[in-house]
Amino acid sequence: MATDKFEASLKKLEEIVKHLETGSLTLEDSLKAFEEGVKHAAFCSGRLDDAERRVEILLRQKDGSLKREPFETEEN
């Protein structure tokens, strides 16, 4: 499922960031990790953009206008 891929990619991105923050990698390994992180970030960003478009389609009004409503979380 696509959600599983998103979650796995996000988790890997978090791991890469933590590893980079330790400062224990060589320059070459840091660059490789950064490149991998950029790929995961791009994938996650694309999936979030897709989700946003799907939500906008669901909120589209009969006249074609888009009814924007604030996204409410449990914190709100």
Whichever domain contains 37, its CATH number is 1.10.287
What's the token pair of residue 46?
A: 């694309």
Instruction: Convert 22-50 to b/e letters by CB count within 10 Å (16 or more is b).
Output: eeeeeeeeeeebeeebeebeebbeebeee
What pLDDT digit, counting tens, does each position of 39-62 carry?
999 999 999 998 888 887 777 777
**Segments forming the whole domain that contains residue 26:** 2-59
Indicate the pLDDT class of residue 76, thresholds 50, 70 and 90: very low
Asked if the structure places residue 73 within a domain, the reply is no
CA distance 15 to 33: 10
Indicate the pLDDT class of residue 2, thresholds 50, 70 and 90: low
CA distance 32 to 28: 6
**Would the pTM of this model clear 0.75, i.e. be above it?**
no
19, 40 contact by CB (below 8 A): no
Number of domains in the chain: 1
For all residues of the chain together, what is the average pLDDT? 86
Give 10 or 75, the one with higher predicted confidence.
10
Asked if the structure places residue 72 within a domain, the reply is no
